[in-house]
């Protein structure tokens, strides 16, 4: 079992480019596992956590309903946004500048073989991070992701999640609104859930902007603790080593 974690901060990158990069890492891990079985070998499989911000883009998961996208292709061009149908679970979501998108590409056989536990730990990582900012974040029964004030008429989502897994290897992940332009969420029914709002960390704290790097650092720390992983420090950004 290899619990070493490579963290990569990719900055602002096109969605399709990073989707292809995810697929490359994902398939490399699957190939190692396949060769291990065929050759009765024990080569280790690596684990990655990619951080990225995307230019404005809407993505629709395998089980999603295109009707949840409320804007035409022509108007997408006008607002500078792209749209992709992708191979993760979940419905429609938005990514854009000011949002931390995290893609854990893990071989869960290095940690545990339980997708439900995997999703709950990702949620817990975000919940614990937001707690450091004085926010009481929580889960909403039957709905993946992280919310505020779930049991009130003012329920609002701050982090969306959607993953893909094959032979216990994961890709895609979570999107945490930190300094997000919430106006872009008006062009869809977030995650296909009607009647609930979306929020961002800076809005909740009443600040113009929150440090993306600071939030990333907190997320990494909680990820390492929850997954009992070990950070590969060589080549990692300084903020993840503190």
The burial of 67, by beta-carbon neighbours within 10 Å (0-12 exposed, 13-18 middle, 19 or more buried), is given as exposed
pTM: 0.92
Mean pLDDT, rounded, for 217-230 = 98
Residue 88 assigned ligand-binding role? yes
Give strand ranges (E) for 86-142: 92-95, 99-105, 137-140
CATH homologous superfamily of 4-240 equals Bira Bifunctional Protein; Domain 2 (3.30.930.10)
- Tell me the CA distances in angstroms from 173 to 48, 104, 242, one per residue in order: 12, 6, 24
Residue 238 has pLDDT above 80, yes or no: no
Residue 160 assigned ligand-binding role? yes
Residues 37-53 have pLDDT tens digits of: 999 999 999 999 999 99
The residues annotated with a catalytic role in the active site are 191
pLDDT score, position 190: 66
Mean pLDDT, rounded, for 237-242 = 41
Residue 137 assigned ligand-binding role? no
Q: Which of 82-86, 207-211, 230-234 has the highest mean pLDDT?
A: 207-211
Q: What sign does the dihedral 20-176-115-231 (CA atoms) show?
A: positive
In the chain, where the domains are located: 4-240
CB 101 within 8 A of CB 51: yes
3-state secondary structure (DSSP) of residue 136: coil
């Amino acid at each position: 079992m290899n619990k070493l974690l490579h963290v990569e901060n990719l900055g602002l990158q096109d969605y399709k480019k990073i989707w292809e990069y995810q697929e490359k890492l994902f398939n490399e891990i699957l190939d190692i596992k396949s060769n291990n079985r065929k050759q009765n070998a024990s080569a280790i499989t690596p684990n990655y956590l990619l951080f990225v911000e995307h230019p404005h883009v809407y993505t629709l998961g395998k089980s999603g309903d295109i009707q949840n996208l409320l804007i035409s292709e022509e108007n997408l061009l006008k607002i500078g946004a792209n749209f992709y149908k992708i191979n993760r679970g979940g419905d429609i979501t938005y990514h854009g500048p000011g949002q931390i998108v995290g893609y854990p590409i893990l071989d869960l056989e290095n940690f545990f073989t339980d997708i439900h536990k995997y999703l709950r730990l990702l949620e817990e990582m975000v919940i614990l991070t937001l707690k450091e900012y004085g926010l009481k974040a929580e889960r909403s029964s039957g709905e993946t992701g992280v919310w505020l004030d779930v049991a009130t008429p003012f329920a609002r989502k701050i982090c969306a999640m959607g993953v893909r897994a094959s032979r216990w290897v994961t890709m895609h992940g979570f999107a945490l609104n930190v300094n997000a332009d919430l106006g872009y969420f008006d062009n869809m029914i977030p995650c296909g859930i009607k009647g609930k709002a979306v929020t961002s960390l800076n809005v909740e704290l009443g600040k113009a902007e929150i440090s993306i790097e600071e939030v990333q650092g907190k997320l990494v720390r909680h990820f390492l603790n929850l997954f009992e992983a070990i950070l590969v420090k060589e080549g990692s950004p300084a903020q993840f080593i503190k």
